[in-house]
Chains A and B, each alone.
Chain A
């Protein structure tokens, strides 16, 4: 594996990890005026897949979308300002953490209603096909979203029309606090997806390089007209569903399970593969960027009250 790939993936994962750790700290001060759903522990999936995309490609994330937004090149300053509710935010303070967007970077607006972004992402893929573009869409979702009717409807339509889209399930085996075994009749999602006639593969371990390699192969094929594909990545949400804390003391999941995932923390294992100089340079750069983003957010103005009615209609 080339060191430049490891360097890129580490930089992307570390950016999300450190941004979210900063957010968790700042959150306790009430400066952030928005519910935050942290992806800490899961960042490697978005980083690995999005590494293959160009600016004109689209990504669609969820309300747990900081990593998707940042990995696709979303501006950190405007993301932080958005969390603070400021006019300089990526949605001018109207969205908060759950609805990140940056059209110029191909970041489709994210939704707080589970599953809702999936068909919207498929619609972007339809537009790409109609416009004869060479772009692709990657849509990220959790395991809970696959229970929504629109998930199956979307896969069927995308497969039927051979649309350029990759479906990525980040399976952290939790829907808010409900474990998979209380929601799924059978833990065979990937097998079911294969019956739509699309390439489908599951990753049980946080093997970031395998996910990177496989998604690269899929995205190249999709770009060349193969139609949609599907991957499912088992993973683990370290923090509570919403908010800045761990919550193993709440009893709905075990600390042991969390510890086993933390022992395989991709952020650490990738970092260890880098020269210490290289890693230090990346880390320092990230800290400076975050510090600047927080300052930018803090110093930016709130939207004026008289702007309440802006953007109701285009």
Chain B
């Protein structure tokens, strides 16, 4: 990791772009492809200016052929290039599953270590303003299930840049799961290139009452919930795993050993998902001697609806997270934070359409 020099407060979207730009500056085998990355909107600004700087051979759009284009990116990676394949929504990765699961994840193993696939797949979860059933899914657990894949989930601008650069340098297929609602959030980000190591969780807030593990933008929601709980005298430890696979379970285990309680707040469904994985590992752990109170919260077990009245009930939010944690800590259900204090500024800024 290089020494951070000038820190600037920049947006997540600009950090993503800067990470890719610096990775492309550093290595001419890096190129970027994906539908609409070179148009006037530039994937909500995250690819803006790259085609002007690097030219159409290194930054180009693709036909609407997600399956084949994933294979093309994989083939180019096998032949010594370092592609970044961009998808504006994670839902579209269902069209890439065969190539990602059967080729990208398996090639190094299946070909006896003689082949590498240094592929980066950038993709984004949508939320609110009617994103609905097919623009909202957090499918990280499906990909993390497969040996050979790495899955990372930046929750802030600093990680967005550092994980992008690390993903490009990694010799394995890496899926970067971004979140649309985080694009406008700001953090202090060094100007120079730096990496965020995979498999290193970040403890964002220390506390002794309960461990809350949040994924992607659920880190933000969990942090707000922790603030509300602090007002009630309950100190939460909030952990951002940063990378889903590899997972820094040691950090979670150590925290749970201190707090005795674990709440996983996932940005996806619960069934067979990341939250189930974390709870299972805690249950299996030989290093946790005490009985741990465990709960998880995530997407409702439905398809994501568009209408706000239903959509609000579909997602966890600071209020539902805080109330669940409160109950876990106190055993009581006699507190409800007022709705206004649960609002998150970054969410109310987003007005769509995409």
Which residues in A have some Cβ–Cβ distance to B below 8 Å? Answer: 58, 89-95, 99, 101-103, 108-109, 111, 113, 116, 118-128, 130-131, 149-150, 153-154, 156-157, 160, 310-314
Q: Is B335 an interface residue (CB 8 A)?
A: no
Shortest CB-to-CB span from A231 to chain B, Å, is 20
B114→A101 contact, CB < 8 A: yes
Which of these, A109, A119, A311, contacts B99 with CB under 8 Å?
A: A119
**Residue among A113, A154, A311 making CB contact with B102, cutoff 8 Å:** A113
**Chain A residues closer than 8 Å to B72, beta-carbon distance:** 119-120, 122-123, 126, 154, 157
Minimal beta-carbon separation of B174 from chain A (angstroms) = 11
Out of B57, B68, B70, B109, name the residue touching A130 (CB < 8 Å).
Answer: B57
A153 in contact with B74 (CB, 8 Å): no
Cross-chain contact A130 with B102 (CB below 8 angstroms): no
CB nearest to B149 among chain A residues = A313
Q: Point out which of A93, A119, A123, A124 has the most chain B C-beta atoms below 10 A from its C-beta.
A: A123
Chain A min CB distance to B31 (Å)? 7
Known: A127-B76, A311-B108. A153 touches B171 (CB 8 A): no
Contacts of B147 in A (CB 8 A): 312
Contact, CB under 8 Å: A122 / B71: yes
Additional A-B contacts beyond A123-B75, A311-B109 (5; CB < 8 A): A91-B112, A94-B109, A123-B78, A130-B57, A154-B68
Contacts of B68 in A (CB 8 A): 118-119, 122, 149-150, 153-154, 157
25 sampled A-B residue pairs with Cβ under 8 A: A91-B110, A91-B111, A91-B112, A94-B109, A103-B111, A109-B78, A109-B110, A113-B98, A116-B99, A119-B69, A123-B72, A123-B77, A123-B78, A126-B72, A127-B81, A131-B79, A131-B81, A149-B65, A149-B68, A150-B68, A154-B68, A156-B63, A312-B108, A313-B172, A314-B171
Q: Is residue B352 contacting chain A, with contact meaning CB distance below 8 A?
A: no
State the CA gap A28–B226 with chains docked (Å).
Answer: 66
A303 nearest CB neighbor, chain B only: B112
The answer to whether A90 touches B79 (Cβ under 8 A) is no
Q: Which residues of B contact A (CB under 8 A)?
A: 29, 31, 57-58, 62-63, 65, 67-81, 98-99, 102-103, 107-118, 147-148, 150, 171-172
Q: How far is the CB of A131 from chain B (nearest CB, A)?
A: 7
Report whether A123 and B76 are in contact in the complex, using a CB–CB cutoff of 8 Å: yes
Complex Cα gap A311–B114 (Å): 9
Q: Which residues of B contact A128 (CB under 8 A)?
A: 79
How far apart are A81's CB and chain B's nearest CB, in angstroms? 11
- Contact between A313 and B73, CB atoms less than 8 A apart: no
B110 touches A99 (CB 8 A): yes
Residues from chain A with a CB closer than 8 A to the CB of B31 are 130
Give, as a whole number of angstroms, the nearest-CB distance from B244 to chain A.
15
- Would B75 and A313 count as touching, CB distance under 8 A? no
By the criterion CB–CB under 8 Å, are A154 and B71 in contact?
A: yes
In Å, the complex CA distance between A236 and B74 comes to 32
CB-based contact B57/A101 at 8 Å: no
Residues of A within 8 A of B80 (CB): 127, 131
Q: How far is the CA of A95 from the CA of B116 in the complex (A)?
A: 15
